[in-house]
């Protein structure tokens, strides 16, 4: 499975909706230096690891983890 697809599927699971995941993948995020997750995957050799961590943190926040 390529990195884009694995990150997209993880985003879909975290966000709970395919359309939200599609939107997230193409939205510039301040925490990613105003890059989209899609751009980060293309520009960084470790972009997929950064995005996995980002989504993990997002899930922790959504679930109220401390």
pLDDT at 62: 86
Domain ranges of the chain: 3-63
pTM of the model: 0.85
Q: Tally DSSP H helices, then E strands, for the chain.
A: 4, 0
3-class SS shares of the chain: helix, strand, coil, % to 5? 75, 5, 25
pLDDT at 65: 65
Residue 26, phi then psi, degrees to nearest 5: -115, 15
**pLDDT by 10s per residue, the chain, length 66:** 599 999 999 999 999 999 999 999 999 999 999 999 999 999 999 999 999 999 999 989 888 865
Number of C-beta neighbours around residue 26 at 10 A = 10
* Alpha-carbon torsion, ordered 43, 48, 50, 56, to 10 deg: 150
């Amino acid at each position: 499975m390529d990195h884009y697809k694995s990150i997209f599927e993880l985003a879909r699971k975290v966000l709970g909706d395919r359309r939200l995941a599609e939107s997230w993948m193409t939205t510039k995020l301040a925490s990613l230096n105003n890059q989209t997750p899609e751009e980060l995957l293309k520009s960084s050799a470790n972009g997929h690891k950064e995005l996995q961590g980002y989504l993990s943190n997002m899930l922790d926040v959504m679930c109220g983890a401390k």
